Amino acid sequence: MEPAFTVRQVAEQLKVHEQTIRRWARQGLGPPSVKVGAHGHYRFPRLEFEDWLRNERSRGETQC
């Protein structure tokens, strides 16, 4: 598996609660995620997360 961020790391970067990240992942919102392991922990592939974040930031700059 390629390098990936944990829920905690993504929450820290986006300055939101970890539960928010988990909810977004369950609902298919926010950054792209994958479930891993028997307990279904979410991971966020680094390159996909960075692309998503860059896109979100550029969208925010263009919205009025």
How many domains does the structure of the chain reveal? 1
What is the Cα–Cα distance from 15 to 35, expressed in whole angstroms? 22
The per-residue pLDDT for 64 is 46
Whichever domain contains 38, its CATH number is 1.10.1660
Transcribe 3-49 into DSSP letters. Answer: -EEEHHHHHHHHTS-HHHHHHHHHHT-SS--EEETTTTEEEEEHHHH
Assess whether pLDDT exceeds 90 at residue 63. Answer: no
6 CB-contact burial (10 Å; exposed 0-12 / middle 13-18 / buried 19+)? middle
Q: Each residue of 3-56: pLDDT tens digit?
A: 999 999 999 999 999 999 999 999 999 999 999 998 989 999 999 999 999 999
Which residue range(s) make up the domain with 15?
4-62
